[in-house]
Amino acid sequence: MSKVHVKTGDTVILLTGKYEDKFDSKGDRKTGKVVQVSPKEDKVIVEGINMITKHVKPTRMGEKGGIINTEAPVYACKVQLVCPKCGKPTRVGHVVEDGKKLRVCKKCGKSFE
């Protein structure tokens, strides 16, 4: 178990895998919001990234079966945080201000909080 550099709600890009070369309509790399963080497994679930198809059987309680598309977790080391101020993928630095530890952008120095 290690510390994860992203939190729920952060915007990230994927560094490796099948989504590293995907671009949006503006020509920028495809980004997604972090939906869930699992520090015990060192994995994150990113919205719209690493989609899988699950075939679900119907249950007796009235729940319908079918084909469901859902996000699968990716390793946290494979994602990089995108700075909301400068809009560039960046590493995370830490600064202590007023007794609180803040995450800051290594490129522009602005706080993520």
Strands 79-82 and 92-97, by their bridges, are unpaired
pTM of the entire predicted model: 0.80
Cβ contact 26:58 at 8 Å: no
Residues 75 and 100 grouped into a single domain: no
Provide CB contacts within 8 A for 98, sequence distance 6+.
Answer: none
Residues 75 and 109 grouped into a single domain: no
Structural domain for 57, as ranges: 11-82
Does the residue 26 lie in any domain?
Answer: yes
Residues 68 and 33 grouped into a single domain: yes
Does the residue 3 lie in any domain?
Answer: no
Does the residue 6 lie in any domain?
Answer: no
Which CATH number covers residue 70? 2.30.30.30
pLDDT in tens, 1-57: 678 889 999 999 988 877 666 777 676 778 899 999 999 999 999 998 889 999 988
Residues 92 and 75 grouped into a single domain: no
Provide the 10 A C-beta neighbour count for residue 57: 8
pLDDT in tens, 61-113: 777 889 999 999 999 999 999 998 888 899 999 999 999 999 999 888 888 87
